[in-house]
Amino acid sequence: MKYLKIILSLLLILNFTVQNVYSQKTKLDRRLGKTQSEDLKEQVGIYPNKAMTKYISAVGNKLVVQLDSAKFDYHFTILDDSTPNAFALPGGYIYISRGMIPLLQNEDELACVLGHEIIHAQNRHGIKKIRRKIIPLVLEIPGNLVGILNQGLGALVNAPIEIPDKVIDATQSRQLESQADHQGIILAAKAGYNPEALSPTLDRLSSFIEASTGKAEQRSYFNDHPYTANRNKRIDKLSTHLNVADKNSISKDFMHEFDGIDYGDNPTKGIIIKSSYIDLSHNYRILFPNSWKIKKGKQEVIAFNKSKTATITCKEASSFNNTKEAGIHFVKELSKGAKRYLRDSKPIVVNGKSAYLVSMVENNRNKNIYAYSLWMPVGKRIFQIKAIGTQDLLKLVEKSAASIRPLDKKDKKLITRKRIRIVKSTGNETIIELSKRTHNYLSPELTGIINDIDINKSLKKGKEIKIVVEEAYF
Ligand SMILES: [Zn+2]
């Protein structure tokens, strides 16, 4: 009896520990996934179409219920990214990019892609290889000023977080990819979807990337990832032997579920035209020095010269009443260590308006590095322009500051929105002819790929074709 008691309590403890360790482990997935998903939301953005998200979630959940026991609450999200992609973050956060959706031909293909990603999350593949690489733009400016002038400069010039496990440019090991392929299509088959749909999807994705980037699928491009062809051979071998449950699709008309989805870059994320930058969300346009590169950061826009020895950034800083108040606040907030580089802080006139300028100088290996922060009034708003480089940079800074203005009708005319639309063939026309007739923005080649149709083949009357139309944004 005593022994039994001990054994029982031992069992209890053991059981408790195992469970605890297990939930501790998945807790880490959930925590990481939550943080990373918030970063992704902020840095890349979520595509806000409720109906499309609801549909994708419905297909995803149909797969999740087929798992022996789901380790997480699964979330399905459309990422506002034009590159075709799908991936999983730890903790059950599954993403499909806006750019991936037009490539899919039916619900089976969507299910196979989601199944693959669900397996990555469920089997905790991501957690074994946490990838949150940030590729910083390395400025060739020595010294401390870069960090002082803009604590956020590092983050500002960083590329968006690298998206883990792209379907094609996969960073997972071959073994984990194969596992996700195999178990993913098993899941799809259990839910009544055709497991043979994965391999043509991967093929199409590969052709699309090749046709739109001009780069053939190469070993280097695909990293340690197997060629799509080899991968597909293995998928096909398995998928033909799977028992598929009774079919019961959620949508009766897959193509129309995504009619109107945005295609290509999202103009609200900022438009770069030659040397000018148009910010729709903050309603302004700024001109940077000729031939400088322009890059959109999280809140600021950054321009830099070819040798990366000088940069100018710009953002709205309207929380101050006037430019002087903003400048004085900036100086006050400088750390003790930073204050020793301070050279000057004074009101100046730029383009006939009262601006405010703070100048800093650092001597680094007998070379002077200059940093400027200039506050510029634009109507009732204030913009902060920061720059680092040589002394003569100030002229360029003032020129850029003077160029800031709200968007006018002409600017707005330049802004377009591209969307997927479904058109019907009049019969006896090829994709090439249909494209001409409908003013299709997309090349016939890419149109052929996203519709899975030979561009020289004559289309039947009434056949529905996805095209891209360019509409005025305003
Ligand atoms: Zn994968």
DSSP H helix total and E strand total for the chain: 16, 16
> Separation of 306 CA from ligand 1 center, angstroms?
37
Question: Residue 151: CB partners within 8 Å, gap ≥ 6?
Answer: none
> Separation of 173 CA from ligand 1 center, angstroms?
9
Question: Residue 135: CB partners within 8 Å, gap ≥ 6?
Answer: 158, 159, 162
Q: Which has the closest alpha carbon to 146: 415, 373, 392, 317?
A: 373
Which domain range does residue 427 map to?
A: 415-472
Q: Which two tokens stand for residue 314?
A: 């710009």
pLDDT at 155 over 50: no
Is residue 229 located within the same domain as residue 96? yes
Is residue 307 located within the same domain as residue 356? yes
> Separation of 176 CA from ligand 1 center, angstroms?
7
Q: What is the pLDDT of residue 59?
A: 98
What are 1-24's pLDDT values in tens digits? 445 454 444 444 444 444 444 566
Which pLDDT band, with edges at 50, 70 and 90, does 135 fall under? very low
Q: What is the pLDDT of residue 441?
A: 96
CB-side neighbour CA atoms (13 Å) of 221? 13
User: Which of 41-50, 53-62, 292-301, 405-414 is predicted with the least confidence, judged by mean pLDDT?
Assistant: 292-301
> Separation of 165 CA from ligand 1 center, angstroms?
5
For the chain, the domain total comes to: 3
Is residue 178 located within the same domain as residue 242? yes
Any domain includes 103: yes
> Separation of 177 CA from ligand 1 center, angstroms?
5
pLDDT at 215 over 50: yes
Q: What is the pLDDT of residue 210?
A: 83
Q: Which two tokens stand for residue 305?
A: 């010269």
Is residue 198 located within the same domain as residue 329? no
What are 330-380's pLDDT values in tens digits? 999 888 888 889 999 999 999 999 999 999 999 888 889 999 999 999 999
Rounded to the nearest integer, the mean pLDDT of the chain is 84
Is residue 400 located within the same domain as residue 426? no
Any domain includes 364: yes
Is residue 125 located within the same domain as residue 110? yes
What are 387-438's pLDDT values in tens digits? 999 889 999 999 999 999 999 999 888 889 999 999 999 999 999 999 999 9
**Sign of the C-alpha dihedral computed for residues 65, 70, 75 and 77 taken in this order:** negative
Mean pLDDT, residues 445-463 taken together: 96
Q: What is the pLDDT of residue 239?
A: 84
pLDDT at 152 over 80: no
Is residue 372 located within the same domain as residue 333? yes
Q: End of a domain among 373, 391, 412?
A: 412
Which pLDDT band, with edges at 50, 70 and 90, does 151 fall under? low
> Separation of 172 CA from ligand 1 center, angstroms?
7
> Separation of 86 CA from ligand 1 center, angstroms?
8
> Separation of 264 CA from ligand 1 center, angstroms?
23
Domain of 420, CATH number, reads 3.10.350
Is residue 255 located within the same domain as residue 289? no
> Separation of 304 CA from ligand 1 center, angstroms?
36
> Separation of 212 CA from ligand 1 center, angstroms?
22
* pLDDT greater at residue 186 or residue 161: 186
Percent of the chain with pLDDT over 90: 54
Any domain includes 63: yes
> Separation of 363 CA from ligand 1 center, angstroms?
50
> Separation of 203 CA from ligand 1 center, angstroms?
15
Mean pLDDT, residues 178-203 taken together: 94
Any domain includes 163: no
Is residue 293 located within the same domain as residue 383? yes
Between the two ends of the chain, the Cα-to-Cα distance in Å is 81
Is residue 232 located within the same domain as residue 86? yes
Which pLDDT band, with edges at 50, 70 and 90, does 132 fall under? very low
Domain of 348, CATH number, reads 3.40.1000.10
Any domain includes 251: yes
pLDDT at 276 over 80: yes
> Separation of 262 CA from ligand 1 center, angstroms?
25
Any domain includes 95: yes
Is residue 211 located within the same domain as residue 300? no
> Separation of 49 CA from ligand 1 center, angstroms?
25
List, as ranges, residues with CB under 5 A of the ion ligand 1.
165, 180
Q: End of a domain among 227, 259, 291?
A: 259
> Separation of 220 CA from ligand 1 center, angstroms?
17
Residue pair 362/341 in contact by the 8 Å Cβ criterion: yes
pLDDT at 78 over 80: yes
Distance CA 287, CA 273 (A): 10
CB-side neighbour CA atoms (13 Å) of 2? 0
DSSP H/E element including 451: helix 444-451
Q: What is the pLDDT of residue 172?
A: 57
> Separation of 206 CA from ligand 1 center, angstroms?
14
Q: End of a domain among 368, 390, 412?
A: 412
Q: What is the pLDDT of residue 450?
A: 97
Which pLDDT band, with edges at 50, 70 and 90, does 137 fall under? low
> Separation of 164 CA from ligand 1 center, angstroms?
9
> Separation of 117 CA from ligand 1 center, angstroms?
6
pTM: 0.77
Burial class (CB in 10 A: 0-12, 13-18, 19+), 191: buried
Q: Which two tokens stand for residue 36?
A: 């990373």
> Separation of 104 CA from ligand 1 center, angstroms?
17
pLDDT at 130 over 80: no
What are 286-334's pLDDT values in tens digits? 999 999 988 877 678 889 888 888 999 999 998 999 999 999 999 998 8
Q: What is the pLDDT of residue 318?
A: 87
Q: What is the pLDDT of residue 227?
A: 58
What are 243-272's pLDDT values in tens digits? 888 888 999 999 999 999 999 988 888 888
3-class secondary structure, 301: strand
> Separation of 109 CA from ligand 1 center, angstroms?
15
> Separation of 40 CA from ligand 1 center, angstroms?
18
In DSSP terms, 188 is beta-bridged to: none
> Separation of 8 CA from ligand 1 center, angstroms?
43
Any domain includes 278: yes
> Separation of 110 CA from ligand 1 center, angstroms?
14
Burial class (CB in 10 A: 0-12, 13-18, 19+), 30: middle
Is residue 302 located within the same domain as residue 395? yes
Residue pair 68/187 in contact by the 8 Å Cβ criterion: no
> Separation of 120 CA from ligand 1 center, angstroms?
7
> Separation of 265 CA from ligand 1 center, angstroms?
25
Any domain includes 137: no
Residue 249 phi/psi, 5-degree rounding, is: -65, 150
**Sign of the C-alpha dihedral computed for residues 327, 331, 332 and 335 taken in this order:** positive
